[in-house]
Structure 1
Amino acid sequence: MSRFRGLVRQLLHEDLSSLIGRLNVEGEQLQKIDRKESKIMVTRKHLRKTQNTLSFLLVAAYGEIMEDREIAIVHSFGDGYFFRDKDIKFKLDTEVVTKLKNKIQEYIEDEEKIEKTIMKRTQLVEIFKKKSWEHKLGILNTWRAEYIPILKFKHHLDYIIEPVTPKKHLITFFDLKPFHGGIVLRFPTLGDPQMKKPFSDRPKLFELIQERDVWAELLDTAYIDELNDHIYTKKIDRLKWVAEGLHGKKLRTIASKIAESFPSRRIVSIAGPSSSGKTTFAKRLSIDLAVLGLKARVLSLDDYFVDVEDMTLDKNGERDYEDISVVNLKLLIKRLKDLLDGEKIPERCFDFVNGVGTDNFEKMWSLGEKELLIIEGIHGLNPKFTSKVGDKNIWKIYVSALTQLNIDIHHRISTSDCRLLRRIIRDYQFRGWNPKETLKMWGNVRKGEEKNIFPYQELTDFTFNTSLVYELPVISIYVRQLLAQVKGDKELRVEAARLMKFLSFFFLLSPERVPGISILREFIGNSDFRY
């Protein structure tokens, strides 16, 4: 944490309203930059704009058809967003969903335009008060600009937080799917731009979302303004310990089930997208297993990378570090089978500086009578790996970071944004990368996740949500200043401004409050674990 100590001290003692005001001005100035975006950024930006505009139109349609009822966004789900009525007990049927779909299509074909404009903050406050949108009012308490950007269509308006488009002709595909008493608003993705793939139910993922809801209720914190209130009223420590306690309880449950089946399964494979906290999860799981009398060795799939010079190139002539081909599966699988057969294998380490893997024959591994192996890496659920080791030998765990917060009732917090913020800190502090480099490569990381991780997230025995409800006020202290360092590349500056804008809605929280074994420590440093 040494690189950040002065920064943390400065930000914690700086006047909060002054800091937020300064960041708002910086963000608005950067957003005015005239830029020519790269093809990847244009594609992603286009999709993001149409997705957010479709969400806006769904809220408008629900208000018109259901009159006094309110719809709430819950979380991303597959190729869409999951919505339900604000009253979770009120279930939506197929007839209502069909009416909503027809109404949105009517909006798109209507000659009336979507208006992208600005409104005086005081005027917007009065409108939100009349609608009893208390969580939006909470956001406006931190959004102190005199004029607020808004999106308006017919009877409905809302502030603009994420990129949107008033050009309805850009919305070419969408669908509404009744789902668990709510709705999945489906839209095009990079992998399926014309929505040719059928809707895919993901029971394990939805189970994780339901658990997220339970945790949010226990924490009594579902929106940013409620979290800010915990910080302002100095009740954040109780919230923190309950959040960490929920992690601990889930870890103990998983460890108990693994121990019950021992020794029939002696390998635990942990996979998940970038910056999910897989490494710390593996270390904490090994502790809970030790409490139950089992020892655990932790092996990283990264240490079994093939040498860089032997990596295959993609169609652009570049090395794809996210593809399973970078893992020396032949060597890895042989050694895992040797371990299960009672033989010893050398400790292996990949040197990322020189791009080569080496064996240390002075440190030989074996599995003792009460010992199992924990493997962590993004390809830990890939059947190309698990089937060759033997699925019957492996416990499979999917780890992700599904934030338990939303901005307000109609605006979600992107899970990928939260992971990106974690990664910006980790890359800067432990890998020596500047935030510009992390932002630049994030698009490829996301493409790799969609190809190599998400398709296998249902092939699991357990799922674990590593997100902590209080983490963004801590992360904000580090990331704001790092994002302000993004210079030169205009498209990356705009992306940095978007993230700074989002972070300005949070009150600050000292990293000193974060426990030493927290998963959050993997990214901000000063962990009680060694990495």
Structure 2
Amino acid sequence: MKEIEIFCKNTNAFHSYPMGTSLLEISHDLNIKLEHRVCGAIVNNKVRELSFCVVKPKQVEFIDVTHMDGTRLYIRSLIFVMYAAVKEVFPHVNFRVQNGISNGYFCELQGLEREINESDLFAIRQEMEAIIAADLPFVKRGIVTTEAVDQLMKQGLEEKAQLFEQQGQLYTQLYFLKDLANYFYGHLLPSTGYISGFGVVKYYDGILLQIPHRKHFERLRKVFYNEKLYDIFQEQKDWAEIINVSTVGNLNDHTLAGKGGDVIKISEALHEKKIAEIANMISSRNGDVKVVLVAGPSASGKTTFSKRLGVQLAVNGLRPHQISLDDYFVDREHTPRDENGEYDFEALEAVDIPFFNQQLIELFEGKEVRLPLFDFHLGRRAENGKKLQLGRGDILIVEGIHGMNPGLLTQVKEKNTFKIFISALTQISMDEHTHISTADNRLIRRLIRDSKYRGYPAAATIKRWPSVRKGEERNIFPYQENADVMFNSATLYELAVLKKYAEPILKTVLENQCEYTESSRLLEFLSYFKQINDDEIPPTSLLREFLGGSSFAY
């Protein structure tokens, strides 16, 4: 039999195997030892499951659950197990994964028609543990698409079936766990026995599926009760269901029917209504609010939101003045460094807190101050910032990632502030069991913005993204519940619009670049959306901050 040569990054050596040898067989033969059990591999910089058979020369790197793509394999497989368990315990209930929250996944049992109780959770947990203990294989089968659609419809997975039909492919692939079929738009673990830890706890009126910490897989991630975040997710979910655009399949149906423009108009009208409501809340505080703090993670649309809020405050008779917290950075030589010795611009200590508070107090006292203007090229504050003096009806809008951090305003009274947390909380799901990550939504926005306005190649943005996310987890998300109000900057239609801009950018990442793994995943994800043209997106839209064509000056 013909021999195929592979280069294994784990052993840093070439090895030869008979054509058709599986990655699982190769990992056993090479006795690959990682921190945890080998669960998948990166083959020519694309994720593959261990059942993948090598028929051409390849570069292979075996991964475990501590790798981001290994974690994804684990989560998809765990959700399949939970679906199978719920199907066994409650045969007539529809199991749904709604969104990621509190370091886990919020799930609902639709059709249960009563409150979930501890005995329900115990039964589901026990059934999941039995499925895992049985070490049942996840079997991947290629079948005719019409048969796959029939199978999914029989199981009540109509949203998955709808998306399969829209792809127009003759053959497709399904995963089977015994007799149950499913699909998760990505690979799975070899079998249920690879799952080592999970939690199932009551979370508000649903269930939180807990997953292990990626870097400390022996323990589960801590549960937080994010009431404001939960409420905004539920509000957006209900609204998406009312206008029948709660899944990618629904959105595609509107697009194919020529109604994409209607979805744009409704989404933009909702944004305008919400921003006006926030402006009314601020105005109703009897003039107490002196400074509005707008904070959120990368690519959440903070800048355009702040400008649109300023317009609505002006409608209410106030005179808003925009200030960027970035202009209050300490000089470069005083910037703290992270554990890798790199400048940590996202640490609170990177901001000159005493100087920022001093200027706010002087402004509140009616004094004229010269605002700083940070020169990012020179790494220090310039002396040519504009002068500002506040009078009656003037209000500050301060945009920056640390707006919710209680350590920011050390000398300003609480009654004089109004805090707004903004993020792109994606409202639609792929289907019943696959939510769309808000981080993926923001990464796609950032890829487009970095390419268009900063000249950064896609590979550079993807490479930096884990560091950005780490900074958000440390400096932004722990304080989000301090907000007076949360604003969701995502729109129902945006991924169908961003698709046209993101795909050519992602395709610039070459196979020999390690960022190809992520670019390939995002391209696969975007392939399920039918494209919507951006002609009807208004110039004041938050999305224009990334696409271009905004009527605001940045």
Q: Secondary structure at the match of 2:490?
A: coil
Contact 1:219 1:242 in 2 (8 A): no
Percent identity over the alignment? 34
CA offsets 1:172-203 (integer angstroms, 9 cap, x no match): 22111112331110112347644366522111
Q: Which protein has greater RCO, CA pairs closer than 8 Å, 6+ apart?
A: 1
Of 192, 205, 211, 1:181 maps to: 205
Measured after TM superposition, the shift of residue 491 of structure 1 is 3.3
Superposition pairs of residues 243-258 of structure 1, within 5 angstroms: 243-258=267-282
Q: Which runs of 5+ in 1 are unaligned?
A: 1-26
**What TM-score do you get using the length of structure 2 for normalisation?**
0.86
Measured after TM superposition, the shift of residue 152 of structure 1 is 2.1
CA distance in 2, matches of 1:35, 1:514: 44
Of 334, 344, 350, 1:310 maps to: 334
Are residues 1:357 and 2:381 paired? yes
1:415 corresponding residue in structure 2: 438
1:36 corresponding residue in structure 2: 61
Q: Which runs of 5+ in 2 are unaligned?
A: 1-42, 49-57
Superposition pairs of residues 266-345 of structure 1, within 5 angstroms: 266-345=290-369
CA distance in 2, matches of 1:514, 1:57: 41
Stretch of structure 1 that moved more, 127-136 or 224-233 = 127-136
After superposition, the CA RMSD in angstroms is 2.3
Superposition pairs of residues 81-230 of structure 1, within 5 angstroms: 81-87=105-111, 89-190=113-214, 193-195=217-219, 198-230=222-254
Contact 2:499 2:526 in 1 (8 A): yes
**What TM-score do you get using the length of structure 1 for normalisation?**
0.89
CA offsets 1:83-115 (integer angstroms, 9 cap, x no match): 112348553222111111111111111133233
Measured after TM superposition, the shift of residue 281 of structure 1 is 0.8
CA distance in 1, matches of 2:362, 2:180: 64
Are residues 1:508 and 2:552 paired? no
CA distance in 2, matches of 1:519, 1:191: 35
CA spacing shift, 1:321–1:489, aligned 2, 3 Å: farther
Are residues 1:404 and 2:424 paired? no
CA distance in 1, matches of 2:335, 2:329: 9
1:3 corresponding residue in structure 2: none
Q: Secondary structure at the match of 1:249?
A: helix
Superposition pairs of residues 414-493 of structure 1, within 5 angstroms: 414-487=437-510, 489-493=512-516
Contact 1:148 1:159 in 2 (8 A): no
CA spacing shift, 1:338–1:167, aligned 2, 3 Å: farther
CA distance in 2, matches of 1:364, 1:353: 22
Amino acid at match of 1:377: G
Greater C-alpha Rg: 2
Measured after TM superposition, the shift of residue 528 of structure 1 is 0.9
CA distance in 2, matches of 1:517, 1:477: 20
Of 501, 514, 519, 2:542 maps to: 519
Amino acid at match of 2:423: S
CA distance in 2, matches of 1:124, 1:199: 37
Measured after TM superposition, the shift of residue 315 of structure 1 is 2.0
Amino acid at match of 1:79: N
CA distance in 2, matches of 1:335, 1:246: 36
Of 380, 401, 407, 2:403 maps to: 380
Q: Secondary structure at the match of 1:383?
A: coil
Measured after TM superposition, the shift of residue 293 of structure 1 is 0.1
Amino acid at match of 2:101: F
Amino acid at match of 2:475: N
**Higher-helix-fraction structure:** 1
Amino acid at match of 1:438: T
Contact 2:213 2:220 in 1 (8 A): no
CA spacing shift, 1:42–1:196, aligned 2, 3 Å: closer
CA distance in 2, matches of 1:312, 1:448: 13
Contact 2:66 2:217 in 1 (8 A): no
CA distance in 1, matches of 2:502, 2:66: 24
Measured after TM superposition, the shift of residue 31 of structure 1 is 4.8
CA distance in 2, matches of 1:37, 1:526: 45
